[in-house]
């Protein structure tokens, strides 16, 4: 009986299970992500070599596609980026129906996408079990802007701009293979009737917040062009906000900067 239980467990039947529980519902980039990892033993004793955790997100990239002809084509396809990995190098044996839990503090990277629009961020937890299918748990995360970016968003909203679209688009020249673009449209206030739309890309590090802007005053939109400009190094409209600024100061600095370019 023990042999069959072990054989089934290697296929994932009656094997140990893992469940990651988030201590906070809303997460902020740059802050700690406290979680509790629950491991529940199965129908047979199993060796756990490691517990691996990955922070993942989705972004869009243009990839070559083949349709059986010689024409070279590209299509926009969703890609997965692993933003960060953590490992609990603690080998242990989980007994039959035994329950164990691990309290872990993970740091959410600064440039974890804000989960607005189509942005998706999730946590994947794996048990590393030798010669067996690794049990897995997936948890969707809700990520809100870090304080400086939140101050910028608040200032833009108070100036009559609303977020129309948010996308994670492939771009070169950054630590990650993508940037997150925020597209705003003026619905009231001083920019209404002056701009058609405003695109913003943000990059945060320990020194502060870097912002790139693209304004559209034309009838034809510019949606989706900002990441391409960044990748080619053609976009010059750039603003840096020091990490020492308050959120209110960050928002005012951006409004002052945009007023100079209008």
Q: Which residues pair with 94 in a beta bridge?
A: 46
CA dihedral 260, 252, 191, 150 (to 10 degrees): 130
Q: At what angle do helices 147-158 and 247-261 cross, to 10 degrees?
A: 50
Cβ-based burial of 35 (10 A; exposed 0-12, middle 13-18, buried ≥19): buried
Q: What are phi and psi of 138, to 5 degrees?
A: -120, 130
Domain boundary pick from 125, 143, 161: 143
Check whether residue 154 and residue 125 sit in a common domain.
no
Contact of 149 with 114, CB cutoff 8 Å: yes
Check whether residue 118 and residue 171 sit in a common domain.
no
Check whether residue 17 and residue 57 sit in a common domain.
yes
CA-nearest of 57, 39, 47, 46 to 124 is: 57
**Structural domain range at position 84:** 2-143
- Residue 90 has a CB neighbour count (10 Å cut-off) of 10
pLDDT given for residue 262 in this prediction: 63
Check whether residue 134 and residue 33 sit in a common domain.
yes
Contact of 59 with 81, CB cutoff 8 Å: yes
Supply the pTM of this predicted model: 0.81
Check whether residue 133 and residue 156 sit in a common domain.
no
pLDDT given for residue 135 in this prediction: 67
Check whether residue 125 and residue 200 sit in a common domain.
no
CA distance 227 to 170: 7
Check whether residue 59 and residue 108 sit in a common domain.
yes
Check whether residue 127 and residue 89 sit in a common domain.
yes
Contact of 81 with 61, CB cutoff 8 Å: no
pLDDT given for residue 99 in this prediction: 93
pLDDT given for residue 255 in this prediction: 95
Q: What is the residue-level pLDDT of the chain in tens, covering all 262 positions?
A: 343 333 333 334 447 889 999 988 889 999 999 999 999 988 788 888 889 999 999 999 988 876 666 566 788 899 999 999 999 877 889 898 899 999 988 899 999 999 988 889 999 998 888 755 656 899 999 999 999 999 999 999 999 999 999 999 999 888 899 999 999 999 999 988 888 899 999 999 889 999 999 888 754 444 444 545 444 444 457 899 999 999 999 999 999 998 887 6
CA distance 84 to 194: 41
Domain boundary pick from 117, 143, 169: 143
Residue 122: CATH number of its domain: 2.60.40.640
> CB under 8 Å to 200, separation ≥6 — which residues?
152, 181, 182, 183, 184, 211, 212, 213, 226
CA distance 19 to 131: 21
Give the H or E element holding residue 236: none
Both tokens of 254, joined, read 């951006």
Check whether residue 105 and residue 21 sit in a common domain.
yes
Query: What are 29-85's pLDDT values in tens digits?
Result: 999 999 999 999 887 888 888 899 999 999 999 888 766 665 667 888 999 999 999
Number of independent structural domains in the chain: 2
Domain boundary pick from 83, 114, 143: 143
Query: What are 121-136's pLDDT values in tens digits?
Result: 999 998 888 755 656 8
């Amino acid at each position: 009986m023990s042999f069959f239980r072990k054989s089934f467990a290697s296929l994932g039947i009656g094997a140990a299970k893992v469940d990651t529980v988030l201590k906070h519902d809303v997460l902020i980039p740059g802050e700690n992500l406290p979680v509790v990892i629950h491991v529940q033993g199965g129908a047979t004793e199993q060796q756990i070599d490691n517990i691996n955790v990955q922070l993942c997100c989705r972004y869009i990239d243009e990839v070559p596609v083949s349709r059986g002809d010689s024409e070279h084509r590209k299509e926009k396809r969703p890609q997965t980026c692993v933003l960060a990995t953590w490992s609990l190098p603690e080998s242990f044996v989980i007994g039959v129906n035994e329950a164990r839990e691990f309290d872990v503090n993970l740091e959410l990277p600064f440039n974890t996408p804000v989960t607005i629009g189509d942005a998706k961020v999730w946590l994947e937890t794996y048990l590393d079990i030798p010669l067996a299918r690794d049990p897995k748990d997936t948890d969707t995360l809700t990520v809100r802007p870090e304080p400086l970016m939140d101050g910028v968003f608040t200032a833009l909203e108070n100036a009559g701009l609303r977020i129309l679209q948010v996308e994670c688009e492939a771009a070169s020249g950054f630590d990650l293979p993508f940037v997150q673009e925020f597209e705003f449209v003026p619905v009231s206030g001083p920019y209404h009737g002056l701009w058609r739309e405003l695109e913003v890309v943000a990059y945060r590090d320990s020194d502060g917040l870097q912002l790139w802007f693209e304004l559209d005053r034309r009838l034809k939109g510019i949606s989706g062009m900002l990441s391409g400009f960044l990748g080619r190094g053609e976009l010059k409209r750039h603003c840096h906000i020091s990490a020492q600024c308050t959120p209110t100061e960050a928002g005012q600095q951006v409004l002052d900067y945009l007023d100079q370019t209008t």
